[in-house]
Amino acid sequence: MSRRSTAEDLARSLPTTPYVAGHWQPDSPQHTFDVVDPVTERPLVTVTEADAATVDKAVTSARDALDDGEWARLDGAARGSLLLAFAQLIEDHAEDFADLESLDVGKPGIEVRVIDLPQTVGTFRYYAGWADKLTGQSIPTPGYQGRRTLSYTVRQPVGVVAAITPWNSPTMIGSWKIAPALAAGCAVVLKPPEDAPLTSLLLAQLAGEAGFPPGAFNVVSGRGATTGKTLVEHPGVDKISFTGSPETGRIVAAAAARTFRPTTLELGGKSPQIVFADADLDAAAAGVALGIFANQGEVCAAGSRILVARAIHDEFVDRLAAHAAKVVLGDPFDDGTTMGALVNAKQRDRVLDYIRIGRHEGARLVTGGGRPERRGYFVEPTLFAGASPGMTIAREEIFGPVGTIIAFDDDDQAVSIANDSSYALAATLWTTDLSRAHTVAARVRAGAVAVNGWSPLDARLPWGGSKLSGLGRELGWAGIEANTELKTITVVL
């Protein structure tokens, strides 16, 4: 039996109904959606969509878990143990997760095994460590009407957290939301992406096995306009953590603003990769290619604006094109595949549209630009050179394997082009000059800057952006802050 058919069998064996209060809910044949395999273009499984009543049940069960459920009675150490058990189960099922994510998203298994899964497991383990360390402070105060006072803060869970995830890396991005929320003692209602819900269903199964009490972790699959909308508008939700497009982010933020609910938004970018003339060109070409072609370019931090010093421009373009030529497009289950399919026909057409616009606006197509003659939502790795910063392909997030190369003359111009964007999520700098590295890192507007490589995705490192890239930070201590509230208590002694 091939790996692909084993994976398909696994997908068909998963429970597909909402997971609420520790139970799989009954099937509801009138509310379903198909999950389509982006490589075969055939439906994989039919999943039950959580309707308004089910979303309400999930939010209520999360509230109950917090108010007087078993979950609320667990101390930090017990929550940490559960998170460790969860991490271990995910690690034990790493191959299942990798296969499901390749089927669902179309990405090569190697990427899931090397990046997404270790990062997911690491994130649960990292936050397990925080769960029993959420302390407050004692703050000296001058007293009250001649009496001494004791003032202190305690850090409490923010409450019911709605976590809404995108299809590009649903397992890993899900862990960034679920792990800190559970560590902080919140209860979670996860709404996975309708294009790629399978690994979230497996997560629900394993959460039950790990022993999380009913209501602590719930999964409601469904479309954004129905299940997602119902969830973010539900008055019982205390905090929303969302990753996806700026357009949807705006809708989510507006729903949250009505009652001033805290919101974390991670909305993608148009990240610059700046290659200076003094860079190690071998390393830079390999790193820049990874930055734009990994995960088919469907990465919020994809380095889609490639700014290259004019002195090395032509040579660097050739080197980058050589890397693009080495990309092997194919079935994620085939050995040797380094780039899979885009997630759906809509995304493929969107990317091809941008390629048409790039040509129309006068950028020079260096390589790619088409789709291979085969079934599946594939797009060739594509590079445009001779682009100007005002072109659409230099300004809008394409979310596909399309890099736009822009030449610059000096550091000031490089910084100015890098910052001339509606987004500010990530940047990479390629230089051997230490002073230039730190100076430019300070000047580039981005939530994360990496020099001479890609910053390791690591649960200890805060992640997020500003402008259209979003609001707030995930991961690191910031992930705990985003899921807790400080309470100040003063006792007049």
Q: Does 300 bind ligand NAD (CB under 6 A)?
A: yes
**Residues involved in catalysis:** 266
Count of chain residues binding ligand NAD (CB under 6 A): 28
Q: Does 274 bind ligand NAD (CB under 6 A)?
A: no
User: Quick one: 244 or 358, whose CB is closer to ligand NAD?
Assistant: 244
Q: How far is the CB of 206 from ligand NAD (least distance, A)?
A: 20
Q: Does 51 bind ligand NAD (CB under 6 A)?
A: no
User: Quick one: 315 or 353, whose CB is closer to ligand NAD?
Assistant: 353
Write out the two tokens for 370.
């088409």
| Three-state helix/strand/coil letters over the chain | CCHHHHHHHHHHHCCCCCEECCEECCCCCCCEEEEECCCCCCEEEEEECCCHHHHHHHHHHHHHHHHCCHHHHCCHHHHHHHHHHHHHHHHHCHHHHHHHHHHHHCCCHHHHHHHHHHHHHHHHHHHHHHCCCCCCCEECCCCECCECEEEEEEEEECCEEEEECCCCCHHHHHHHHHHHHHHCCCEEEEECCCCCCHHHHHHHHHHHHHCCCCCCEEECCCCHHHHHHHHHHCCCCCEEEEECCHHHHHHHHHHHHCCCCCEEEECCCCCEEEECCCCCHHHHHHHHHHHHHHHHHCCCCCCCEEEEEHHHHHHHHHHHHHHHHHCCECCCCCCCCCECCCCCHHHHHHHHHHHHHHHHCCCEEEECCCCCCCCCCCCCCEEEECCCCCCHHHHCCCCCCEEEEEEECCHHHHHHHHHCCCEECEEEEECCCHHHHHHHHHHCCCCEEEECCCCCCCCCCCECCEECCEECCECHHHHHHCCEEEEEEEEEC
Q: Does 399 bind ligand NAD (CB under 6 A)?
A: yes
Q: Does 266 bind ligand NAD (CB under 6 A)?
A: yes
User: Quick one: 124 or 167, whose CB is closer to ligand NAD?
Assistant: 167
State which of residues 18, 244, 403, 465 lies at the interface with ligand NAD (CB under 6 A). Answer: 244
Q: Does 267 bind ligand NAD (CB under 6 A)?
A: yes
Q: Does 268 bind ligand NAD (CB under 6 A)?
A: yes
Q: How far is the CB of 399 from ligand NAD (least distance, A)?
A: 4
Q: Does 264 bind ligand NAD (CB under 6 A)?
A: no
State which of residues 22, 159, 185, 224 lies at the interface with ligand NAD (CB under 6 A). Answer: 224
Q: Does 62 bind ligand NAD (CB under 6 A)?
A: no
For residues 345-384, which are near ligand NAD according to CB under 6 A? 347, 350
Site string (154-193) toward ligand NAD, x via CB under 6 A: ----------xxxxx----------------------x-x
For residues 409-468, which are near ligand NAD according to CB under 6 A? none
Q: Does 228 bind ligand NAD (CB under 6 A)?
A: yes
State which of residues 17, 243, 264, 484 lies at the interface with ligand NAD (CB under 6 A). Answer: 243
Write out the two tokens for 5.
């058919």
Q: Does 127 bind ligand NAD (CB under 6 A)?
A: no
Q: Does 232 bind ligand NAD (CB under 6 A)?
A: yes
User: Quick one: 82 or 256, whose CB is closer to ligand NAD?
Assistant: 256
Write out the two tokens for 258.
């009505």
Q: Does 33 bind ligand NAD (CB under 6 A)?
A: no
User: Quick one: 341 or 440, whose CB is closer to ligand NAD?
Assistant: 341
User: Quick one: 189 or 321, whose CB is closer to ligand NAD?
Assistant: 189
Residues found near ligand NAD in the complex (CB under 6 A): 164-168, 191, 193-194, 223-225, 228-229, 232, 243-245, 248, 251-252, 266-268, 300, 347, 350, 397, 399
